[in-house]
Amino acid sequence: MGFLESNIWHNIIWIGGWIFLSYMVLVILFYTGMLVISFAQLRRQYQLDDREPYQDILQVSYTKPVSILVPAYNESAGIYGSVRSLLSIEYPEYEVIVINDGSKDDTLEKLINRFQMVEINKVVQLKINAQPIKAVYQSKIYGNLFVIDKENGGKADALNAGINASNYPYFCSLDGDSILERDAFLKVMKPIIDSDGDVIGSGGSIRIANGCKIENGEMVKIGLSTKPIVIMQVIEYLRAFLMGRVGMSRHNLLLIVSGAFGVFSKKWVVEAGGYNHNTVGEDMELVVRLHRLIKERKEKKRIVYVADPVCWTEAPESTKFLRRQRSRWHRGLFESLWIHKKLFFNPKYGSIGFISMPYFLFVEFLGPVIELFGFIIMIFSLFLGGIYIEFAILLFLISFLYGSLYSMMAVLLEEWSLRKFPKVTDIIRLFFYSFTESLWYRPLTVLWRCEGIWQTIRRKNGWGEMIRKGVSNES
């Protein structure tokens, strides 16, 4: 390589490194602000004994009844335990509607046999378009348990069918492998009840059930998996929910309510057109569309996140399925941003257009590309020697701060506020693994998310296969 070519490469590395460094500093400043807001919010929420206010909801006459929708496609492994957990929750009035979305396994047969379901004549009004319903079943044991058997149309279509069949003004979307804590609904519905209709959506925390002891749909003992790939997902969820969503929710900037556990006003969702069939990120797309509708109607409605109500779900235990999940999530993120690109920097949509949408584009969607570029710069800097080695060390320290340190803070935030893990050894393990995140786990997720961008460019669609073992020990 000639002197001129060598000089050009040195300049590229140097300029690229400073671009990466500047970007990471801005992101770190943003996350630091979010961390401060989260600390303050959680401190206000947990400085008092809040058990009694939640219990009072069981007695009040103005509690809102809820329809719990559980879309199920090939969920035989965990569906019984999930439904059992729903039938034992603490809440005054609710119904459980399982939507069998054309499963090819024995999901429907297991529900019919285990809950003594019988076919009923039920008129379902078509408020939102969905695939045809073949039959509706009701349990002879539990009068508030229904199963809808319909033709396959995907998760969004199943949820739309469930909304059409629901009887109550609020609905909750739950994954078929989810296990709820008994008081989760009391906590996730409290903001809706207290706001007298101003809150039209509320989401709770999602935690990893792998490693926990669950029997007949009940959380018996909270534990931690022995598999490093699962432990890192536990840390990742803590960071995303306790730091990201607490801070965003505080200022009504939340664009994601997890499809695994979220409550919405049926009236607003129907007026928004229901779930979108043409995206793999239907949960985020719906929330963005609701914000858009709120702003266009000049209403002062809010969508909030509540840290304490917990829904436990099964996480992928192999890199194969985790890779598919993260690539799919990233495709869904882009689809939601692209569908609602009109919101970007549009004064009509206020802080959603000027803060939330740009954040999800430049930090969440394009962030992996910048990080991958930074990793490449670090590697080249080590080979160039001299001052570039010091530069590579600086870039690594910034990456460590953004990756590992914030994850460590999320673990401390969990222990300081919610304290879901009873064993001190579990907290120590989480803290240790979060320290290693920047060394192996984050580079992997960066590659998988970049793969999602490549799939978006190639217009690859579909969910990809996800094999579930089931987190509940059924009996």
Structure tokens at 387: 């001052």
Residues (pLDDT < 70) of the chain are 1-6, 43, 45-62, 309, 386, 417-418, 461-475
DSSP β-ladder status, 66-72 and 170-174: parallel
Answer whether CATH 3.90.550.10 is correct for domain 1-475.
yes
Contact 139, 113 (CB under 8 A): no
Residue 320 pLDDT = 94
Domain ranges of the chain: 1-475
Q: Residue 226: its pLDDT value, please?
A: 93
Looking up tokens 């296969």 gives 465
What secondary structure does DSSP assign to 11-29, as a single string? HHHHHHHHHHHHHHHHHHH
Would you tell me how many other CB atoms lie within 10 Å of the CB of residue 294? 21
Amino acid, res. 67 = S
Q: Which stretches does DSSP call E strand in 73-209? A: 94-101, 117-120, 133-139, 145-150, 170-174, 179-180, 199-208
Looking at residue 267, its pLDDT comes to: 96
Residue bearing tokens 């401060």: 36
pLDDT of residue 96: 97
In the chain, the amino acid numbered 444 is L
Buried-state track 423-435, b at ≥16 Cβ within 10 A, e below 16: eeebbebbeebbb
The answer to whether 69 and 156 are in contact (CB under 8 A) is no
For 325-361, letters b (16+ CB in 10 Å) and e give bbbbbbbbbbbbbebbeebeeeeebbebbbebbebbb
> From residue 165, how far is each of 72, 73, 239, 335, 414 by CA, in Å?
15, 18, 36, 28, 38
